[in-house]
Structure 1
């Protein structure tokens, strides 16, 4: 058990260090040597977990969404908005997320960047489809199409925010994005109940972390309940 815990911690250390190097240097410029130095581990320890720089990058891309998730909401449109707003907040505070976004947006050859976009599209389509089944959406909505628009628009907004303010203004920009997009797909009565404020992402983050800590303390506790 102790060895397993140590291996998990070593893997997390490597991923976090790789994330910081990828964020600052980009995929092409980053080297295994830099990541080893940042992580403070041996080459053998790194290659035990990741066989190449590409595997490290894919690990960073997949790890960013594994643990901190939006609690289930009664309104699936609110749940989808919370997912977007949470991601915007995490871009400000989480090196793994920032590195994952840089890798996703990096147009240099040598890395398959499609995974995050496809995953976000699938997640958004699922929530929008559930919202449609609950009568939250206007009749013309095609869930997969709306999901693609939201994912693509968010990618552009975060890229603009990174360029002009290093993500300092991202929550406000994402709040504005949702306030402009959602009226075109959401029933007016549902729209009026949504919280799309620029502080919502930070609030959802605090809520998600609290639930995660409770689950870690009591793994079998049933604490995930729908909220407004």
Structure 2
């Protein structure tokens, strides 16, 4: 267990260091040497966890993936809202998530599969929307795939504008405004009236997620069981 804990801490320190380097220099200009210096680890420790700079960057990208253990309630559209609001809160407080989003939008990182992060978001939103449709929460004409793509792209744009204008200080409010404009076009009136779209909801739901028991999907990878 001690070895596993040390492995998790080492991997996290590498990702956090890489997040800072990528954020300051961009993917193309960042070097493994800079990441090693920031992380304070040996080259062997880094290559135990990651085979290349590209794989480190993919690890940073993965840090922004949607949470897979949001609290379950009766409303699937509320879960859809919570995905966006929790991500807004994480973007305000977690440098690793911030770096993952920056990498996904970095035009100089063309060799990375930056599309994976967008696919993950759109796929999860599409699944939730399909569940909402099955429960009668959506208007009859809604295409869940198109709606998931629109929401994913709109969130990316809103967070980028918030970052440029105030370092994401108002992101919770901006996502709340976005949802207040989009949801009337997809939700039944009765369901829309019941949704909590408050800017503070992301923090409340995130803290609730943190209190949930860990799931198998959030366990460390097996190769990290024994490491430097």
Structure 2 length-normalised TM: 0.89
Contact 1:64 1:96 in 2 (8 A): yes
For structure 2, the residue ranges without an aligned partner over 5 or more in a row are 220-228
Q: 1:178 corresponds to which residue? A: 179
Is this contact kept in 1: 2:65–2:117, CA < 8 A?
no
Question: Where does 1:97-136 land on structure 2 (aligned, <5 Å)?
Answer: 97-108=97-108, 109-136=110-137
Pairing of 1:1-228 with structure 2 (within 5 A): 1-65=1-65, 69-108=69-108, 109-212=110-213
Question: Looking at both structures, which has the greater relative contact order when contacts are Cα pairs under 8 Å and sequence separation is at least 6?
Answer: 2
Question: SS of the counterpart of 1:211?
Answer: coil
Q: Size of the alignment, in residue pairs? A: 216
Conserved in 2, the CA contact under 8 Å of 1:23 and 1:95? no
Q: Supply the distance in 2 between the matched residues of 1:40 and 1:20 (Cα, whole angstroms).
A: 13
Let me know the Cα RMSD of the aligned residues: 1.8
Query: Secondary structure at 1:47's aligned position in 2?
Result: helix
Q: Is the 8 A contact 1:68 1:208 kept in 2?
A: no
Q: Partners in 2 of 1:56 and 1:101 — Cα distance?
A: 14
In 2, are the aligned partners of 1:68 and 1:209 still within 8 Å (CA)?
no
- Residues 158 and 100 from structure 1, CA distance in 2 versus in 1: closer, same or farther, beyond 3 angstroms? same
CA distance in 2, matches of 1:68, 1:186: 23
Distance 1:47 1:3 in 2: 17
TM-score (norm. length: structure 1): 0.89
Q: 1: distance between equivalents of 2:116 and 2:15?
A: 17
Alpha-carbon distance in 1 for matches of 2:68, 2:150: 24
Q: CA deviation at 1:184?
A: 0.1
Of residues 108-117 and 94-103 in structure 1, the stretch that sits farther from structure 2 once superposed is 108-117
How far apart are the structure 2 equivalents of 1:69 and 1:14?
25
Q: CA deviation at 1:41?
A: 0.2
Consecutive unaligned residues of structure 1, counting only runs of 5 or more, are 220-228
Deviation at 1:68, TM superposition (A): 7.1
